Amino acid sequence: MKLNKKYKIAFLNDKKNNWFAKYLKNYKKKIAKKYSAISTYNFKKIKNKHIVFIINYTKILPLEFLKKNLLNLVIHSSDLPKDRGFAPLNYQILRGKKTIKTCLISAEKKVDTGNIFLKETIRLNGSELANELRKKQAKAMIKILNKFLKLFPKVKSYKQIGKPTFNKRRTKFDSKININKTIKSQFNLLRISDNDKYPCYFNYKKHRYILKIYKENINDQKQ
């Protein structure tokens, strides 16, 4: 594929996991002068692109699709090869991590096995709730996009090093609270819960009780 002055870019999103869409809309406007960029949920609409950024996509893409573009890239929020698979940010928070890496890798047939182009760091203080976590994650993703586009086409990558681990897909049932444990011991589970899509809950006396969590500054409140 011959490179033109204005590179052709596509952002492939997932309708079931499209929280980054609002950030992407503004980002596309910022890069419009230099790049011809489209955004879609349908991979069949993408071909002959210089770069395809695959954003939070939860399905395995056919190899034939990957061959239709010069470079297919995935942003993954873990220090690969650790935490391959689903919900890497959430799994690390559940383990108490406060420093989380985000990797930009090539999309390959086997999930999250591609070469690493760039890394960015997300730093947490341990109090962030789901909406704040998404903001920090989005900021890291935009940083890594900017760095890569600044370097492209003179980009280099390297193989993942270390023993891989793999995370299974999380469901709404993973948000279940154990009423026999303390809130403190389960605070990280509360932090990653989405109040609308998958809130925390517990079962008691033949009923299910939904828990939604919000943050309030107690410095100005009576305790």
Q: What is the pLDDT of residues 13-53, one digit of tens each?
A: 999 888 999 999 899 988 988 899 999 999 999 999 999 99
pLDDT tens per residue, range 150-171: 999 999 999 999 999 999 999 9
Q: Can you give the pLDDT at residue 4?
A: 47
> Domains along the chain?
7-167 (3.40.50.170), 172-220 (3.10.25)
Percentage of the chain modeled with pLDDT above 70: 96
Q: Can you give the pLDDT at residue 166?
A: 97
5 falls in which pLDDT band (50, 70, 90)? low
Q: Can you give the pLDDT at residue 58?
A: 87
Pick the more confident residue, 217 or 75.
75
166's CB contacts (< 8 A; 6+ apart) are: 83, 84, 85
Which residue has 């609270």 as its token pair? 177
pLDDT tens per residue, range 108-149: 999 999 999 999 999 999 999 999 999 999 999 999 999 999
Q: Can you give the pLDDT at residue 33?
A: 86
CA distance 98 to 123: 6
User: CA separation (Å) from 82 to 100, 112, 171?
Assistant: 11, 10, 21
CA distance 8 to 52: 9
Average pLDDT along the chain: 93
Q: Can you give the pLDDT at residue 194?
A: 94
Check the CA dihedral 49-53-56-59 and report its sign.
positive
pLDDT at 6 over 90: no
Q: Can you give the pLDDT at residue 223?
A: 57
pLDDT at 2 over 60: no
